[in-house]
Amino acid sequence: MRFELILLGTSGGAPTPDRNCSAAVLRTDTTDVLIDCGENTQRQLLKAGLGMGKVSHILITHLHGDHYFGLPPLLSSLSMQGRTKPLSITSPLHLRPRLEALLELDQYPLKFPLSFHTVHPDGLVQLPNIGQLEAFAFPLQHRIETNGYLLRERPREANISKEAIAEHGIPWPEIKKIKNGADYVLPDGTVIPNAQLVTQPARSRSYAHCSDTVFFPELAGYVRGVDLLYHEATFLEDMAEDAAQKGHSTAKDAARTALAAEAKQLVLGHYSTRYESSAGHEAEARTVFPNTVAADDLYRFSVLPQRRHWSELPRMFALQ
């Protein structure tokens, strides 16, 4: 089953010739979620070979333009393309009036229902499920209210063996109990342990998105044990003072969070436009957290079931 991250933009503040502004898509077999929507996101979706057909929710981390200025043209295009499915947007306060003012200028009402949900938690807070994903929001520390988001597969039931059903003559009313962990008692009183009746499903895979933020120790607790962690890395450590003043992290800061959180894999992005290459960010972060990749636009990362390891698809595959 698919659990894949596609980074549509890895530049911080403004685009560059090689990098778009912030946006990412988490794809599963049943649900896609768009996280942030910097300018030109809809073109990046086209370049990545992605559509918005399975996207029912957009999560916006905060209201700096490089994270949401791509929303008005994207919404307008979806309407012109005939979308009728509802779309929900979750963000900190004040997004709705800003978007509605721009869409009003377009003078073409959207053809699909659009709903807004405002959240800026003071801890890890569960949001309504998004398809087969559990969704959570948590606070980041930036210059304005900023959310991080955690997306996790909903727990699956255990699978009961067909052979066990036949061998022990298990009636269907008992099957649900067994899937939920119960043993089965035969008519003669013999107890068949649950472990002999079921196979456990793969553990739920998870992804956390930490956009603009300074380093703070509590962040690791919100994303503890996550399979795939995206974390901004606007600056290198020689500009740590500037990073703190501007509400951003260094690559080393991101690695410290990943290490404390016991994350499986760290992905860096949101680089300052002063850097032509992200190689320095990757090298710096790996001194603290070796399992780090400094991503470029259209990089893809998959968390595989069962073995629960990540796989990075090279850039040339991301472009296909």
Q: What CATH number does residue 233 fall under?
A: 3.60.15.10
Helix spans in 239-314 (H): 240-246, 251-261, 279-286
- Confidence band (pLDDT; 50, 70, 90) for 306? low
pLDDT of 8 over the 80 cut: yes
pLDDT of 158 over the 80 cut: no
Q: Which two tokens stand for residue 161?
A: 């063996």
Domain range for residue 180? 159-198
Is pTM beyond 0.85? Reply is yes
35 or 200: which leads in pLDDT: 35
Poorest-confidence range of 97-111, 132-146, 204-218, 265-279? 97-111
Q: Tell whether 226 and 92 lie within a shared domain.
A: yes
Tokens 């066990």, located at residue: 164
Q: Which residues are catalytic?
A: 66
- Confidence band (pLDDT; 50, 70, 90) for 160? confident
> Among the three residues 178, 198, 218, which one is the final residue of a domain in this structure?
198
Separation CA 99–CA 131 (nearest Å): 25
Q: Tell whether 213 and 189 lie within a shared domain.
A: no
Q: What is the domain count for the chain?
A: 2
Q: Tell whether 174 and 310 lie within a shared domain.
A: no
Q: Tell whether 306 and 268 lie within a shared domain.
A: yes
Q: Which two tokens stand for residue 64?
A: 């700096």
Q: Tell whether 126 and 54 lie within a shared domain.
A: yes
Q: Tell whether 99 and 184 lie within a shared domain.
A: no
Q: Tell whether 7 and 112 lie within a shared domain.
A: yes
Q: Average the pLDDT over 146-150 and give the result.
A: 98
> Among the three residues 198, 219, 254, which one is the final residue of a domain in this structure?
198
Q: Tell whether 8 and 134 lie within a shared domain.
A: yes
> What percent of the chain has pLDDT above 70?
95
Separation CA 206–CA 114 (nearest Å): 27
Separation CA 54–CA 50 (nearest Å): 10
69 or 1: which leads in pLDDT: 69
pLDDT of 4 over the 70 cut: yes
Q: Tell whether 125 and 170 lie within a shared domain.
A: no
Contact 137, 149 (CB under 8 A): yes
Q: Which residues pair with 271 in a beta bridge?
A: 11
Tokens 């503040």, located at residue: 13
Q: Tell whether 55 and 189 lie within a shared domain.
A: no
> Among the three residues 143, 168, 198, which one is the final residue of a domain in this structure?
198
Q: Tell whether 116 and 190 lie within a shared domain.
A: no
